[in-house]
Chain A
Amino acid sequence: MNKKEKGLSVGARRAIAYVVLVFISILCLFWFYVLFINASRSNAELARGFTPIPSTNLLTNWINLSSGRAATVLPIWYGLFNSFLIAALSALFCTYFSTMTAYAIHVYDFKLRKFMFTFILMIMMIPTQVTALGFLQLIGKMKLEDSFIPLIVPSIAAPVTFFYMKQYMESALPLSLVEAARIDGSGEFRTFNSIVLPLMKPAIAVQAIFTFVTSWNNYFTPALIIKSDKKKTLPILIAQLRSTDWLNFDMGQVYMMIAFSILPVIVVYLVLSKFIVQGVAMGSVKG
């Protein structure tokens, strides 16, 4: 009846919402703006204090970082390659085998099905850090220290990705399709590879991005396993940069190094943001 008197009008609430949203957006983007500005300034310019306008040393900083003396201290090309290789292979293994696990539980009616499903949900939240000690000892016994295998292969058992795939299958994979394939004489393994996988493409894409980014950003496990310089990933190089006597370092190069390690993810994100944001909402809420 007279609700306009009791609460704010829609227009006023909308205005407040926009102001807050713009403020929050600035809060999110400001740091990256400063990073970009500072990556374009020389060490001497940086020492003089902050200016909001970019300078002209972007390329110089890049050359200094990627060739020069810094490249021997921080082998960024190796870092980039190693990070990319580990993240890409993890994403591949994780999505393929998680889809397979979800398929097993979704399609087949075997005795331990319910138990396995419950079990995987139960272990979903157990963080890798709490088993890191035993993991390290095992890697030592298997002579896999300083190797990429312990960073890639464990991604096959990924309960979170499994759960997402299972949810997706419930809406996108009718059992009649599997039946039809059987009648046409397709073997179970072939049905999975040539009928189910193509159907799951959207879900696989979303999970591949998440697994890639998680692996790309991972610092804890690689830092415990990788020893030799040429096998280090970008997060380890960042940590190394932090622990060097960085005050004597060319600050332009420090900013360039930070920009270099986060830029690939930002680019991928901006291209695929629509799917990523949808993917977060879809996978997390049960039912």
Chain B
Amino acid sequence: MKTAKSGKVVRYNKWGYIFLIPFIVVYLLFQFIPLVTTIYNSFYENYRSGLTQIGPNFVGLANYKTIFTNGDMMQYAKNTLIMWVLGFIPQIIVSLLLASWFSNPSLRLKGQRFFKTVIYLPNLIMASAFAMLFFTLFSDGGPINSILIQLGILSQPFKFFSSATSSRVLVAFMNFLMWFGNTTILLMAGMMGIDTSLFEAAEVDGATSTQVFFRITMPLLRPILIYVVITSLIGGLQMFDVPQILTNGTGEPMRSTMTLIMYLNKHLFSKNYGLGGALSVVLFIITAILSFAVYNFSNKQD
């Protein structure tokens, strides 16, 4: 049929290109060209020192050498990673638990829609407003300290934002709250896809629910778990709004909550395009490798 009308088909198919024009033009203009100029900038010395503009002068790989040797980037990468891990571990545990409960037909949980609505809610809240809220709630004279003192747990206010550990834990906790609902729904969709006859067979063989979870659900869920881990890591690398607002962009105390994107944001504001460019390229390469892994993985599934 197709060959008989091939003249017509070809005539229609040029519309494929026409309908792609808006996407391609906008992508090239606002994403591809910026990517190229970002890479270009990373090879030039270009910043402001007081009122004098330095550069742009071609410096080769000097910017990369600077960001890898002066220690800042490594420190901020470490901060980002620590806060991501602290948030991701409870996130994946809680999500796995909730998803397996929601998708377990023998439990017949009531009010599922209510619970799903509630756990997904924090994901849609403006991260900057949520961070501002946590900043006021956990401030020295704020409601949380007030509650803890009223309950007799503390005798004097605990300064949450003076210790590196508690600041990082707060950032991680907020990331956990904002993302575990999303992860739960993803994992649940994956669990729903598992052939129920496997569970029935296991039940007939006398497996406990714990055994079913670790021997059947987990191995079959591995592809989605890997997808969740890698996409969450890519998301974690972009961590910005929460620590930025929580610490007013300082990454205090002792630069312990400064993330890579906050560092990039600083360079963008101070117009240090050389170092900013090199940092962007490093982040680009890391995310490119990670997304390539996701792409390869989800393609193997098909």
Contacts and interface: CB of A to CB of B under 8 A. Distances in A.
Nearest to A210: B124
A234 B291 contact: no
A220 B259 CA distance: 13
B156 interface: no
Residue from A241, A262, A285 having most chain B Cβ neighbours under 10 A: A285
A153 B106 CA distance: 49
A150 B186 CA distance: 32
A168 interface: no
Interface stretch (B68-76, B77-85, B158-166, B240-248): B240-248
A103 B23 CA distance: 12
Contacts of A280: 120, 182, 185-186
A102 to B, nearest CB: 9
Interface string B120-133: 11101111111011
Interface string B244-287: 11001100000000000100110111000100110011011001
Interface residues of B, number: 112
Interface in B42-85: none
A124 B108 CA distance: 37
A16 to B, nearest CB: 9
Contacts of B122: 28
Given A20-B97, A110-B13, A157 B124 contact: no
A195 to B, nearest CB: 14
A220 B240 contact: yes
Interface in B21-39: 22-24, 26-27, 29-31, 33-38
Interface stretch (A53-61, A62-70, A126-134, A197-205): A126-134
B206 A156 contact: no
A5 to B, nearest CB: 10
B26 A153 contact: yes
A127 B34 CA distance: 12
Q: Give the size category of A's interface with B.
A: 35 or more
B89 interface: no
Contact of A125 (B109, B234, B265, B301): B234
Most chain-A Cβ atoms within 10 A of its Cβ — which of B17, B125, B249, B295? B125
Contact of B209 (A7, A35, A135, A156): A7
Nearest to B276: A133
Contact of A243 (B29, B248, B295): B248
A238 B128 contact: yes
Contacts of A157: 22-24, 26-27, 30-31
Contact of B150 (A50, A131, A286): A50
Contacts of B281: 130
A108 B16 contact: yes
Contacts of B38: 130-134
A216 B124 CA distance: 10
B30 A10 contact: no
A72 interface: no
A188 interface: yes
Interface in A1-56: 1-3, 6-8, 10, 13-14, 17-18, 20-21, 24-25, 27-29, 31, 34-35, 38, 47, 49-50
A234 B261 contact: no
Contacts of B9: 109
A17 B101 contact: yes
Given A129-B261, A284-B186, A50 B143 contact: yes
A8 B209 contact: yes
27 contacts: A49-B146, A49-B149, A50-B143, A97-B22, A100-B23, A108-B19, A110-B16, A123-B31, A126-B31, A126-B291, A129-B283, A131-B31, A134-B37, A136-B268, A137-B34, A154-B31, A156-B23, A219-B244, A220-B261, A238-B128, A242-B248, A254-B132, A262-B126, A266-B125, A277-B185, A281-B186, A285-B224
Q: Closest 10 interchain pairs by CB?
A: A108-B16, A134-B34, A7-B208, A125-B291, A104-B19, A134-B37, A134-B38, A110-B16, A157-B27, A49-B146
Interface of B: 9, 12-20, 22-24, 26-27, 29-31, 33-38, 40-41, 94, 97-98, 101, 106-109, 113, 115-122, 124-130, 132-137, 141, 143, 146-147, 149-150, 177, 181-182, 185-186, 188-190, 193, 203, 206-211, 224, 231, 234, 237-238, 240-241, 244-245, 248-249, 261, 264-265, 267-269, 273, 276-277, 280-281, 283-284, 287-288, 290-292, 294-295, 298, 301-302
